Structure formats: structure tokens, C-alpha cells
């Protein structure tokens, strides 16, 4: 069955610490991968996406992610987090569904950045 796993459910970091959030997917075909962020009380915003090409993708707000096909992983990284990065982070795979597509989300990782 297709699935997306996020290893860390809750992460607490101090400002300026480095961040890496794990994401693994189970899907036996070509995948489009995404990271979305949900700030408290807000809608999901696209951080970055991978469709093809360079497996290291850069997104908004200094985030980047690396697609490692052999490991079925798409981990999110940021060298130095800020208090404003406190949010819920979701990894997602665009999966074929019937004759269309749907985002299959991980359970999310709640990030708290302390001053």
C-alpha cells in the first residue's frame, strides 16, 4: 500500500540549530514529492517540490530537501532555524488515484523553535 512516513512527530529546537525532518514513502512508480508547512491557524503552504532533475531542491524560507531514490526518502533540511519556523510540517506524495491524482500526506511533524 502507498504510504508516507514521517519519523519525528514532535521536534523541539533552539534558534540557530540545524533541522532535518525525515520522510520516507512507499510507492512503486514515478513520484512527485512535496513538503508543506502549516503555521498555527493557517492553511497549508508549499515549501518545496520535487518532480525530476536535481535531487537537491531548494524551497522558500531557506528550506531544502534531498530526494534519495534508493532510500525512498525526501528529507527536509534547514541549516539554522528561527522562532518563526514553529509550525507543522507535512511530507506528501502525489499518488495516482483512479483517473486522477491525490496528495498522500504523512502524519506531520510539529516543530517548536525556542528563543
Partner 1 sequence: DSGVTQTPKHLITATGQRVTLRCSPRSGDLSVYWYQQSLDQGLQFLIQYYNGEERAKGNILERFSAQQFPDLHSELNLSSLELGDSALYFCASSLTGDGNQPQHFGDGTRLSIL
**Minimum CB distance to partner 1, residue 2 (Å):** 11
Nearer Cβ to partner 1 (85/108): 108
**What residues line the site for partner 1 (CB under 8 A)?**
32, 34, 36, 42-46, 49, 51, 90, 94, 96-108
How many Å apart are CA 103 and CA 115, to the nearest integer?
Answer: 34
Nearer Cβ to partner 1 (78/108): 108
Give the strand pairing for 109-114 and 10-14. Answer: parallel
> Whose CA is closest to 63, among 48, 49, 51, 53?
48
Amino acid at each position: 500500500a502507498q504510504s508516507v512516513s514521517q519519523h519525528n512527530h514532535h521536534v523541539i529546537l533552539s534558534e540557530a540549530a540545524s533541522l532535518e525532518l525525515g520522510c520516507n514513502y512507499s510507492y512503486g512508480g514515478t513520484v512527485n514529492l512535496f513538503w508543506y508547512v502549516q503555521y498555527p491557524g493557517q492553511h497549508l503552504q508549499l515549501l518545496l517540490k520535487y518532480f525530476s532533475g536535481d535531487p537537491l531542491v531548494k524551497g522558500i524560507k531557506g528550506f531544502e530537501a534531498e530526494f534519495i531514490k534508493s532510500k525512498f526518502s525526501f528529507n527536509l533540511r534547514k541549516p539554522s532555524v528561527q522562532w518563526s519556523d514553529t509550525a507543522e510540517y507535512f511530507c506528501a506524495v502525489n499518488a495516482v488515484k483512479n483517473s486522477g491524482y491525490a496528495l498522500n500526506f504523512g502524519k506531520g511533524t510539529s516543530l517548536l523553535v525556542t528563543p
